[in-house]
Amino acid sequence: MRTYDDGGHFRIEVPSIEGPRVFEALLNSARNLGVTVNRISQGSGGMLLLKSEIREMVKLGAENNVEVCLFVGPRAGYDVGLLAHTTSKFSAYSSLRGNEQINSALADVERAVEFGIRGFLIGDIGLLTV
> What percent of the chain has a predicted confidence (pLDDT) above 90?
55
12 confidence band (pLDDT: 50, 70, 90): very high
**What 3-state class would DSSP assign to 67?**
strand
Neighbours of 92 (CB within 10 A): 15
| Fold (CATH) for 13-73+99-122 | Rossmann fold (3.40.50)
Examine the pLDDT at 118 and tell me if it is beyond 80.
Answer: yes
103 confidence band (pLDDT: 50, 70, 90): confident
What does the pLDDT look like over 66-88, one tens digit per residue? 999 999 877 666 666 656 566 66
Cα–Cα distance measured from residue 20 to residue 127, given in angstroms and rounded to the nearest whole number: 27
**Higher-confidence position of 46 and 59:** 59
pTM: 0.84
Q: Where are the domains of the chain?
A: 13-73+99-122
C-alpha of 105 from chain center = 13
Q: Enumerate residues 6+ apart whose C-beta is below 8 A from 29.
A: 35
Using omega within 30 degrees of 0 as the cis cutoff, is the peptide bond preceding 74 cis?
yes
